[in-house]
Amino acid sequence: MAKPKVAFYWCASCGGCEEAVVDLAEDILKVVEAVDIVFWPCALDFKKTDVEAMEDGSIAVTFINGAINSDEQEEMVHLIRKKSGLIVAFGACSHLGGIPGLANLTDKESILRASYLTGPTNVNQEKTIPLAKSPSPDGELHLPELKANALALDQVIDVDYYIPGCSVPKKLILDAVTAILTGNLPPKGSVLAPTRTNCDTCERNKTKPEKLTISKFYRPYEIELDEEKCFLAQGVICMGPVTRGGCDERCIKGNMPCRGCFGPVDNVYDQGAKFISALASLFDAKTDEEVQAIVDTIQDPAGTFYRFSVAKSYLGHKVS
Ligand code: SF4
Ligand code: SF4
């Protein structure tokens, strides 16, 4: 019997989600035995023309990681959508826009200027900035063009399932592949991870005082972190109360607060807004001045509350 065809594609990402697939180690052999990998540009030499030549709907499932922030990525995901039965948004950038989505808080020209001209490590005496079209003696050269904003995958194409995380843990990948191969899938649109929050399963939850109040926030390096105590009770921002579980609280167990990469739980659209509202209720303040003094101790609020989710939030992109 023919094996189901599977594809992997990456868009704007750091490569960590591709690495997560490789990190399956010997378990990848079980996946390879069960499926036929027909497209995986990061690992194998496939071309766009190979995909174009496939029959529509002939790939059983394609896992796409990364945000969409170039015209080339947009074109490719539309092509892959046409050729695939199921599309799985794989990892935080595809699910929520991820770290590339933070660039939505500025504009395209500033991003190019910072990346190619003013960045402290740049050496670019000719002040070259990549262009979508450049003349050359051999004819016009084309490069993918940066879009005005980074988008989550479902803001560009229809997505069937989501696997969250930066990067995706091995267990979630294997569970998802098993569910797909056995047809044992939840309703379309589901996130293939638990519905509870990290706080629900965190060992440190027991140490939260009955009435938790915060009068000042600290960044993790500013205090000596107690390895057993809830981060919030130490005045350190931890997104655990509003972040989907399923990562085995891997950062918290490494004595770092949760940064929210698994995104919100079901029925919450804006993870950052949900957290800001919860956090504000913990402020030990009676006057506007006291509130402001506490707020002033939060460094980089957008990067803290929306580190992975700007694209899928009410902010979405820069408001001018
Ligand atoms: S806020 Fe963070 S450290 Fe505290 S219980 Fe929740 S997940 Fe654990
Ligand atoms: S603890 Fe939070 S930031 Fe760390 S992997 Fe889990 S969900 Fe992501």
C-beta 309 within 6 A of ligand 2: no
pLDDT at residue 92, rounded to an integer: 98
- What domains can you pick out in the chain, each with its CATH number? 5-99+149-182 (3.40.50.700), 198-305 (no CATH)
By most ligand atoms within 8 Å of CB, the mutation choice from 201, 202, 207, 226 for ligand 1 is 202
Read off the pLDDT of residues 32-43 as tens digits, 9 standing for 90 and up. Answer: 788 899 999 998
d(CA 160, CA 180): 11
Mean per-residue pLDDT over the chain, rounded:
94
Cβ–ligand 2 contact at 258 (below 6 Å): yes
User: Residue 53: what pLDDT?
Assistant: 97
Residue 319's pLDDT band, with cuts at 50, 70 and 90, is low
Assign 320 a pLDDT band (cuts: 50, 70, 90).
very low
Integer Cα distance of 160 and 154 in angstroms: 9
Closest CA relative to residue 308, chosen from 267, 258, 233, 266: 258
Q: Is the dihedral of CA 216, 219, 224, 229 positive or negative?
A: positive
Dihedral angle computed from the Cα positions of residues 104, 108, 110 and 111, in that order, rounded to the nearest 10 degrees: 70
Q: What is the pLDDT of residues 223-233, one digit of tens each?
A: 999 999 999 99
Is any atom of ligand 2 closer than 6 Å to the C-beta of 251?
yes
- Percent of the chain at pLDDT > 90 equals 88
The finding on whether 180 has its CB within 6 A of some atom of ligand 1 is: no
Residue 28, pLDDT score: 78
